[in-house]
Structures are given as C-alpha cells and as structure tokens.
Amino acid sequence: MKALNSDGIEREGAWVTELTGDLYLSSWPAGMRVIVRKEEPHVGAQLRITDIDGMRYTAFATNQAGDDLARLEVAHRLRARCEDRIRNGKDTGLENLPLKAFAGNEIWVHLVMLALELTAWTQMLALTGTEARRYEPKRLRTRIFETAGKIITTGRRKILHLAATAPETPLILKALERLRSLPAPG
C-alpha cells in the first residue's frame, strides 16, 4: 500500500507493507509485528549498504494493533522526532556539562533548553515554508545565525543592515518580515 507523508497525504515513490507472516518470530513477545517502508531516497541522499536497487528500506517492530499500516508507520516515524530533538540538544550544548558544580550545570541545562525552544519557535514562526525550517542547529549557526550584520540607531529607530553578499540574507529578511507581521500577544 502507498505510504503517507506526516500530514496524511499519500507519498509518491513510497510504500508500506507488513512482513510479520514471512518471518520466524516465535521467540518474540506475542503480538509483535514487523512493518517495512520502501521509498525512493530524496535527492542528494547518501545510499546505505542496505539500500537495494536504489530504494531505501526501513523496518521497525511494534506491538501496536491496527490494519492501517500507512498511519501506523507515520506514527512511528513522527516518534523519531523525539530522538532528533535529543541529537539537537547535544549539538546545542548538552553533549558535555562544562562546569564542576551541580548548580552551575543545572543553569547550563536550562540555558540550552531555552536556546532549543527559541530555535524551534523561530523555525516554526519565521522560517515557515522554507527548507531552513528543518535545519539542524549546526547548519542554522553557519547559514543564518552567523550572518554578518550591523545595527544602526538613527532618528529613534533601529535599523539592521545585513551583508548583501551573504547567501541567506533574503531568507533572513523574509523571516524578520514574518515575525513583524505576527499579531501582538494579549
């Protein structure tokens, strides 16, 4: 059957099937199932040794019941986003706690969590409809956060001048415009 995108729409070039009946699973707990997704890798994807005939296969085991394999596979894939958040946390500063005192490291963890929240909200609100919405922290830093700029105050106004030659300047300006157009809270 056709696989679904995370928004529930059928995805071209992707299929889902169940292999439970074709496998010997007698030593597994009762009710376990094996579901496989076959898809064409996205453009630029690095193929793995397990990719056969240019197709990517992803399998997972679950004990969840239900006949709609496509929706079950989407739910499993969305759960993987939690693991992405953990990886992003490590990239942002949770890999190692830098201080000797517990209280200092506690503050460090809160600062990293705040940075992750601000990054997630920025991507959700300001970078909507762009590839940058899915950038990992390292890429955000090198492509957007490190873009050279200068803040000038003149006539009681603050003006941001960005480097005209920076590749992400149009994206940043569009993101700032989106943020400016949001309604004020309260």
| Same domain for 60 and 11 | yes
Confidence of residue 110 (pLDDT cuts 50, 70, 90): very high
Total domain count for the chain?
A: 2
pLDDT at residue 7 greater than cutoff 90:
no
90: in domain: no
| Same domain for 144 and 67 | no
| Same domain for 128 and 65 | no
Instruction: Find the angle CA(120)-CA(123)-CA(128) to the nearest 5 degrees.
Output: 140
20: in domain: yes
pLDDT at residue 108 greater than cutoff 80:
yes
DSSP string, the chain: -EEE-TTSPEEEEEEEEE-GGGS--TTSPTT-EEEEEEEPPPTTPPPPTT-BTTBEEEEEEE----S-HHHHHHHHHHHHHHHHHHHHHIIIIISS---SSHHHHHHHHHHHHHHHHHHHHHHHHTSTTSGGGG--HHHHIIIIIT--EEEEEETTEEEEEE-TT-TTHHHHHHHHHHHHHSPPP-
* Confidence (pLDDT) at 60: 86
* Confidence (pLDDT) at 150: 93
85: in domain: no
Per the structure, the complete domain to which residue 72 belongs is given by 2-79
pLDDT at residue 59 greater than cutoff 80:
yes
Q: Which tens digits make up the pLDDT trace of 12-49? A: 888 999 998 888 888 999 889 999 989 888 777 787 88
* Confidence (pLDDT) at 153: 94
* Confidence (pLDDT) at 77: 80
Confidence of residue 164 (pLDDT cuts 50, 70, 90): confident
pLDDT at residue 122 greater than cutoff 80:
yes
| Same domain for 49 and 9 | yes
| Same domain for 136 and 72 | no
Number of residues that this document lists for the chain = 186
Average pLDDT of every residue of the chain: 88
Nearest CA among 143, 138, 146, 145 for reference residue 88: 138
* Confidence (pLDDT) at 16: 92
| Same domain for 66 and 17 | yes
CA 59 to chain CA centroid, Å, is 20
Q: Which tens digits make up the pLDDT trace of 60-107? A: 888 888 888 888 888 888 777 777 888 889 999 998 899 999 999 999
